[in-house]
Amino acid sequence: MQNDGYFIGTGKQGDYVTDQELQDGLGTKTDIGHNHEIGDITNLANTLSQKLTANQAMAQADSVASDITGLVTDFNALLSKLRAAGILSE
């Protein structure tokens, strides 16, 4: 990189931009801090409202089941807590 107001890419002639060209190019870009109202974005509010909302479920102890019946009981308890928290639909 030279210190004469030019940015050099590969060092080949013509492979640079002036400070003004850089500023002009940046002037065509959207400001990083720009904002939009939710209604400005097509169907955003509807799309967001269709997403699931997840809350934290009550704690579920690790299973110590030694047979299928015990495992089914523990699994159903977990499902019940996830439904109560709204993480799983009914």
Cβ–Cβ contacts within 10 Å for residue 44, how many? 13
Integer Cα distance of 80 and 88 in angstroms: 9
pLDDT at residue 3, as a whole number: 46
Residues written for the chain: 90
Query: What's residue 75's pLDDT?
Result: 95
Q: 17-31, 37-51, 66-80: which has the highest mean pLDDT?
A: 66-80
pLDDT reported for residue 2? 46
Report the pLDDT averaged over residues 69-84: 93
pTM over 0.85, yes/no: no
Instruction: Please give the residue that has the higher pLDDT: either 88 or 54.
Output: 88
Tell me if 72 sits within 8 A of 66, measured CB to CB.
no
Which stretches within the chain are classed as H helix?
A: 19-26, 44-49, 68-84
Which residue ranges make up each domain of the chain? 1-29, 54-90
